Structures are given as structure tokens and as C-alpha cells.
Amino acid sequence: MTGVRITHVGGPTTLIEVGEWRILTDPTFDPPGRRYAFGWGTSSTKLVGPAMPPEAIGRIDAVLLTHDHHGDNLDDAGRALLPSAGAVLTTVPGAARIGGGAVGLRPWSATLLEQPGRPTIEVTATPCRHGPPLSGPIVGAVIGFALRWTGQRHGVLWVSGDTVLHRGTRQVADRLRVGVALLHLGGVRFPVTGPLRYTLTARRAVRLCRVLRPHTVVPVHYEGWQHFREPRPAAERELAQVRENVRWLPLGAPVELDI
């Protein structure tokens, strides 16, 4: 088994299908128009709704939740799905807030997704820094996820999570061989903090890819919210420099990727 099917629902939300596994990342299904507070004077309005409603997703065997405390990564409709998921993997403080058996992971800790008749998937949490240096206590804990299963030819499937380029993301390049990289982009900024960035810009993503060298790059979480400051056309121009295969997935349609 070497393939994976990914459906980009919108924002950071993707459905990852591996064998019989159905894994959802950062569930966000609220309609557009609402303004969400992110803390410390920051907020943003959702501009675009999901490409498909939550009831169209079907069975969810696991949720990979990079963080629970920002509405663009977990909103009310997404939170309502969590009790029906087979497993919820997230940060340690996020698991404590969510409860209900959610599993908290620290960077570089791992757990297994196991079911009879399905490939075992090792899920390893990877480091994120969701803002400038020393911003961790303000922005809160965030993690990415690396998924490994038997039969991968090019490497793991890596979900970057909301992060800037920093030592932790470079550790991913040192420790892992990445087949498919789901990169959270958008170059997030807020008026109250001026030029400071809270997620990858495409230019920084290019720098990351030069050390990461993934087989396939899948941009996600780059538009649909007021606080995203680098729209897709600008990101496409930058990512044209990446020698690896860059796939901009159509919203709501499953795409088969080689991994």
C-alpha cells in the first residue's frame, strides 16, 4: 500500500484516507461571517465556509487536532464532531481541556492507531511555534503530526500545524523523511502586533522545503479568514521555486497521492 487519499475540506481541515482509516485534521465546519477572538487582543472573521458539511464526511476514526484554542483550527461545529471520533490526538493542555479520552502528545512523543484488518499507523507529534520567539506562553501549545505506516515509499505524511520556520521545524527535516507535507501557510498577521507572523509565509515554506525535501507538498490553511495575509496567487508564485511536486488540491474532492 503506497497511496493516500486526501480531501481538502477547507482551511486546515482535511480528510486523510489510508486503507480503511479515515482521519480528520483540525475540524472547522462553522459557516462564514462570524468573528472569533484568539486572545491578547487578536481576532479574525471567517470569510469562507467549508466545501462540504460535517454530515458528508462520514465515519471518523481519528482526529488530529493541532490545537484546540483557536477558532480557525477547531470551531463549534468541529468540536461537536469530537465525541463521535474514534480517537482525538492533540496537545497535552488541549487534551485536558477537551476531556472525553482525548490523548495529549508532546513534541516527538508517539502513539499508535490500531484496528484489526487495518494498517497500524504510528502518529508522532512534531514541534510547532505559532508565532515569533518567546510567544509560546501567549499563543499556547501547538503540534504537528507525522504519520508512518508500512509500505510508504517516499516517507511519512507530515501535517505541519500552525507554525513559523524555527528550530523545531528544522528538526523535522533532520529526523524524518517526508513523503507528503501538508503545509499550513497564509503568513498570518494581526494589526495589534504589526509585522509579526504567526504561520509560514510561502517564502519561508520554500526555505523549509529546501531542507525537508518532501516528495509532494500540499498547501492548506492559506485563505478563508481575515487574518491570512498571503493569498494563493502570491503563494503560488513563491512555491514555483520548489523543485518538489506542489499540489493545490481542489476543495471538497478526494485526490490520490503517491507516498
Question: What burial letters (b/e) apply to 185-222, b meaning 16+ CB within 10 Å?
Answer: bbbbbbeebeeebbbbbbbbbbbbbeebebbbbbbbbb
CATH of region 3-249: 3.60.15.10
Q: Distance between CA atoms of 30 and 135, rounded to whole angstroms?
A: 28
Low-confidence ranges of the chain (pLDDT < 50): none
pLDDT for the residue numbered 244: 77
- 46 SS3 class: strand
Angstrom CA distances, 13 to 136, 166, 234, stand at 23, 23, 21
The model's pLDDT over 17-72, given as tens digits with 9 standing for 90+, comes to 999 999 999 999 999 999 999 988 899 999 999 999 999 999 999 999 999 999 99
pLDDT for the residue numbered 3: 87
pLDDT for the residue numbered 1: 56
pTM: 0.97
Break the chain into its structural domains and give their ranges.
3-249
Torsion angles phi and psi, residue 101, rounded to 5:
85, 10
